[in-house]
Amino acid sequence: MIERLKDTTVILASASPRRTKLLAQAGIRHLVLPSTCEERVSSRKPEEVVTELSRQKAEDVYTRYRQEHSKENILVIGADTVVAVGGRILGKPKDRDDAFRMISMLQGNTHQVYTGVTLLEYRNAIEKEDTFFECSHVQVYPMDDSEIRCYIGGGEPMDKAGAYGIQGEFAVFIKKIEGDYHNIVGLPIARIYQELKKHI
């Protein structure tokens, strides 16, 4: 959909199948090349954590890919998503008990989902970097313990920040969102598209 991407190799620096699906939905053909760098954060603020990590992921993949394809026009997309309740970050659950603890904090409450994105571009010998984040508010219906256990039993929570997937069975517990839906899934594709348009 974006004209100038036609001669550019777009690379998603993430192994998340949800992010790949969203980029494809936006009509952006891309390679998947997950970052392998160690994650280091210097802040506890959700918006700073996700932007820092998105930058590290994008830079890791950018450097590695450029070593072998130094003349190619490339655009690397790095992203990181966290869930925050009352400013406190929830990552991916360690085990089922941890998932139960997280979902107990989310039910009957409003939380935030932050995704940081870094666009790192090499084009006709010029480098450009753009980092931003989106925040969406999510209101969850009250859930009783058996509903939480049943949801966890389905296996959905374990690889997801905040222990839930809005695009799966958890959808029946989401009362309302305010912000970008796809940001909650893991990639704010509307914002990415609009940022890429600006760069033309």
Residues annotated as catalytic (active site), given as ranges: 80
**What would the two tokens of residue 54 be?**
């998105």
Judged by CB, which is closer to a copy of itself: 27, or 34?
27
Q: Which of residues 19-58 bind a copy of itself (CB under 8 A)?
A: 22, 25-27
Judged by CB, which is closer to a copy of itself: 51, or 136?
136
User: Shortest Cβ distance from residue 42 to a copy of itself (Å)?
Assistant: 30
Amino acid at the residue 14: S
Give the list of residues 6+ apart from residue 89 with CB closer than 8 angstroms, or none.
44, 46, 49, 82, 83
**Could you tell me which stretch among 33-41, 58-66, 111-119, 179-187 binds a copy of itself (CB under 8 A)?**
179-187
Taking CB under 8 A as the criterion, the residue among 41, 85, 158, 190 binding a copy of itself is: 190
**What would the two tokens of residue 32 be?**
């998947």
**Could you tell me which stretch among 53-61, 86-94, 113-121, 186-194 binds a copy of itself (CB under 8 A)?**
186-194
* Residue 176 interacts with a copy of itself (CB under 8 A): yes or no: yes
Amino acid at the residue 163: A
* Residue 200 interacts with a copy of itself (CB under 8 A): yes or no: no
User: Shortest Cβ distance from residue 196 to a copy of itself (Å)?
Assistant: 10
Sign for the pseudo-dihedral over CA of 91, 94, 95, 101: negative
CA dihedral 169, 89, 85, 34 (to 10 degrees): -30
Amino acid at the residue 199: H
SS3 state of residue 89: strand
**What would the two tokens of residue 87 be?**
């400013």
* Residue 169 interacts with a copy of itself (CB under 8 A): yes or no: yes
**Could you tell me which stretch among 46-54, 63-71, 91-99, 191-199 binds a copy of itself (CB under 8 A)?**
191-199
The CA distances from residue 172 to 15, 55, 119, 187, in Å, are 26, 34, 33, 21
The end-to-end CA distance of the chain, in Å, is 13
Nearest Cα to Cα of residue 11 among 81, 65, 85: 65
| Interaction mask 117-156, a copy of itself, x per CB under 8 A | ------------------------x--------x------
Q: Which stretches of the chain bind a copy of itself, using CB under 8 A?
A: 1, 22, 25-27, 141, 150, 166-169, 171-182, 189-190, 192-194
